[in-house]
Structure 1
Amino acid sequence: MSQFAELLPPNLLFAALGDSITARNGRAKDGFVGLYNHGILTRLRAELRQRLDSRQALNFGVGGDTTGQMLARMGAAEASEAQALTFLGGTNDAAARLPLDTTFANYEAILGRARSRFALTVVMAVLPRSSWPAYFTPEDAAEGQRKLRAMNHWLRGYCTAREGVLFVDTFTPWLDPDTGGPRPGFTEDGVHQSTPGADAAALALAAALDPLLPAEGWPLHAGPEDGFDAATRPGGNKLHNPGLGGTDGAAIGGATGQVADRWVLLTSQPGNIGLVEGSKEAAADRLGDWQVVTITGRQGANESISLNSHVELAEARYAPGESLRAAVEFQLLDPVNVADPGLRWGDLPGTGAPGFESRDFCAFNGNIVGPARSRRGVLLTDPHQLLAPTGTGPQRQVVSLQINLVSSMPGGASGVVKFRRPTLRRVG
């Protein structure tokens, strides 16, 4: 199925060819504002525990495109630096009443070129839809649904018979068997994915790609004992207490309970009703303790709950000019009105110097309301170079790591989030 002789490299760069569903993938370097919440590849990265950094995919999705228009744009994807391709297309062909033979011919041309150019092409099944053009009759809509199934049958057969292409059935997890359209809540408008819809497609992709990936990705290859030492381990984990041992940390701002040594659990709205409680849990694999945060009946709106640690320049654990990258493993259990975790770290130089932040979100969604799916994953920021302190004020430089949640939407927030193996390492 793949031209890779061994497992896929974690830095495998994808080009994503498709329509508006694909266009909803945001790249991490776009920052907080530009990161779409509902991108399938955006959500895939945490599902795969950073064994494949799919968030960096080059986006060749264009809203409204038919497969013929994708074929016309294929050259741009081929000319990119990508090593692999994801392809999702065909729903607009059905909406445009294009003959199936036309769509199949376009598929054959696109995938034939993809097999010649890319080491691996991942073909996603066309997703169910319940919204069709206003001029469609019920008979037209039924014919459109039939075409979607025929497209998926053709794609599955093509990929099964050839090397270098992997068919992933994203149709079945989306299908409501009673209506033939998407499951309730899987779309925003009958076509475009919501958070649960993106989750379902990402899970199908993760299951298909899992056998092709190494068992663990950066930084999970190293345990918490792989700490920083300027002489013997300059590339080690620069955080204090990355194993999250002990209970001498602080719970402030309305939070209570046990917190790992040299870490701080705090809330942004200490007067809110309800509980934010820290506790500790030993991990059976001995790769460090879990820091557990339990949220119970928390009332309010858009409250930030965070776990923080920092390292100062004076401690000689890092130096200006270094490039660092942060990561953390997490589990989110039974969340209600609790957004997905986010990871952020920043350099805070002395007076007069600009700072920066590097962020990664598990498809951050600050206005989620109601129950969400339990999940686990790894968050991983892009590398950034530390700035030198400048200015005339006190020269104090701090690298701060913050693991963040947004909770307490109307109706009250509850759930459990667990973190372990926080990492801040030199890159290169």
Structure 2
Amino acid sequence: MSGLSFAGGTGILVPRAAAPLIAFAGDSITAMAPYSTASVIANHPYAPSSWLIPMLGQRARTEHGLNFGVAGDTSTMLLARIGEIAACPADIVCVLIGTNDVNGAVSAATFATYKANLIAIVDRLLNAGKLVIVTPPLPRNLAAGSQNNRRLLHAMREWTLRLQWSGRRNLRVADAALEYGDPLSDNYAPRAGYDYDGLHPQSRGAYEIAKALHRVLDRLLPPVPQGLVSADDVYDATYNPDGNLLINGILDGTGGTITGAQGLTTTGSQMATGWKLTFNAPYSGATALNGLAVVASKNTTEEGLPEQVFTISGAYTGDVDSSFGMSQAVGSLSRLSVGDVIECTGEVVLDPSAAELPLVSPRLGLAISYPVAGSYRTTDMHWVANGYAPKEGYKLLLRTPRITLPEVPSAMTFGVGFCPRQAANTLPNNAVFRIRRLALRKVIS
């Protein structure tokens, strides 16, 4: 383990060289996770793991290989492969298991088996030196005729909540049921809009599960290192080799560009100098966004930090992945060399709103064109066709995966984007996103 150690019997996380690694163990709810291909590395906002890391301000990290979710797994099946998880390099393991234990015929022995399995899972991970965070089985829609299954699921949750008082050091429980479940449902179902099939969370439900994990880890990890943001934070090969490669990453001024809106209203918009307001249809022939009001404005935070603000309202039409946001072409590419490692960061804040927004997770992206190797695109929070942004608002620190340049790029574009949910044609008035601290940097070891 490279990220943390535990101080005495207090369970306080003491960071070492790097942010602690988190692994996730469970069934299909966990398996809806970060994925990767040769050209795209992205996070699925239906996965709690995709929300947790940005919510923690990147104070912890995860990797594709640290997702140990397997669709259909019971607690017995997870226990059978716990050795692989215990041996992984993660410092923290989040465990969510049990819903498949009650998916079908049950008996009194089902509960005893679950308890024995979970204790064995937890003890194996604790003995391997992990901090273990267990999420009790989540509410799910168990319809008429499944009364025994529903009652058993309740018993499993209550017993798991008490497990953190069993005397096991470095064990925590993160309960998401109160926020995730509908207390008035006869079927113990999730709240409306939190799932898409009575069991699996969509982005709103995944957010609530991550929020429960965040409540545990936020108290254990050191504060978010904000760093100094100033106009002098620019790349200099000699004096500031990991300085910002973007023009005006601090987002000062109002000299930016308002581009064609593709049927959207942008009256009164202002963009930070060096940036442009952009709208994008995802593919040739796609129907672009139409009918939505997107007003860009500038603001200054209480700390004196400039921010770019987007206020959105109205009804809209358009194909999935049609988006709006802000971007800039990265100049002076001669500053980059073969083998350089780069990454992008940015802070996104959603103000509280009157209702959940039919707008899925924000995206931080970098499009790179190479003279020989072609194009490469990397994103952090990746949008999908369905899902809602939470109405209470959130603050995320997004970070792209690190990219090693195989050759000097011929073109590079940095962007922050938002995608309205397909087939959801209304947004509450005055939904507000705030963008701060945008940066593209070389990673200096």
Q: Which has the higher helix share?
A: 1
Pick one of 93, 99, 105 that aligns with 2:101. 93
Cα 1:153–1:106, aligned 2, differ >3 Å: closer, same or farther? same
Residue equivalent to 1:342:
363
- AA of the residue aligned to 1:338: L
Residue deviations 1:212-231, cap 9 Å, x none?
A: 112115xx334244322222
SS at match of 2:68: strand
Residue deviations 1:50-94, cap 9 Å, x none?
A: 222246561222222221111111112123222221111122222
Pair 1:48 & 2:61 matched: no
RMSD: 2.7
TM-score by length of 2: 0.83
Residue equivalent to 1:153:
158
TM-superposed CA distance for 1:17, in Å, is: 1.7
TM-superposed CA distance for 1:309, in Å, is: 1.6
Name whichever of 336-345 and 111-120 sits farther off. Answer: 336-345
8 Å CA contact 2:309–2:435 kept in 1: the answer is yes
- AA of the residue aligned to 2:141: S
SS at match of 1:416: strand
Pick one of 391, 397, 414 that aligns with 2:410. 397
Pick one of 376, 385, 389 that aligns with 1:356. 376
Residue deviations 1:198-256, cap 9 Å, x none?
A: 11111111111111112115xx3342443222221111111111110011111111245
8 Å CA contact 2:203–2:388 kept in 1: the answer is no
Identity between Structure 1 and Structure 2 (%)? 29
Partner Cα distance (2:215, 2:224) in 1: 15
Name whichever of 149-158 and 367-376 sits farther off. Answer: 367-376
Pick one of 72, 81, 104 that aligns with 2:89. 81
Name whichever of 253-262 and 376-385 sits farther off. Answer: 253-262
Partner Cα distance (1:227, 1:168) in 2: 41
TM-superposed CA distance for 1:33, in Å, is: 8.3
Residue equivalent to 1:424:
440
Pair 1:114 & 2:116 matched: no
Residue equivalent to 1:383:
402
Residue deviations 1:294-319, cap 9 Å, x none?
A: 223252214321211222235x5433
Partner Cα distance (1:370, 1:166) in 2: 27
Note the residue ranges of structure 2 that are not aligned, 5 or more in a row: 282-287
TM-score by length of 1: 0.86
8 Å CA contact 2:41–2:379 kept in 1: the answer is no
Partner Cα distance (1:20, 1:235) in 2: 39
- AA of the residue aligned to 2:203: T
- AA of the residue aligned to 1:397: S
SS at match of 1:312: coil
Residue equivalent to 1:130:
141
Residue deviations 1:270-308, cap 9 Å, x none?
A: 88334322210011113x311112223252214321211
Partner Cα distance (2:36, 2:170) in 1: 27
Pick one of 236, 255, 259 that aligns with 1:252. 259
8 Å CA contact 1:126–1:170 kept in 2: the answer is no
Cα 1:203–1:8, aligned 2, differ >3 Å: closer, same or farther? farther
- AA of the residue aligned to 1:313: S
Pair 1:273 & 2:291 matched: yes
TM-superposed CA distance for 1:379, in Å, is: 1.1
8 Å CA contact 1:311–1:317 kept in 2: the answer is no
8 Å CA contact 1:368–1:409 kept in 2: the answer is no
Residue equivalent to 2:285:
none
Residue equivalent to 1:392:
none
Mapping 1:303-342, distance limit 5 Å: 303-313=322-332, 316-333=334-351, 334=353, 336-342=357-363
How many residue pairs were aligned? 409
Pick one of 311, 320, 324 that aligns with 1:294. 311
SS at match of 1:144: helix
Residue equivalent to 1:393:
none
TM-superposed CA distance for 1:29, in Å, is: 6.8
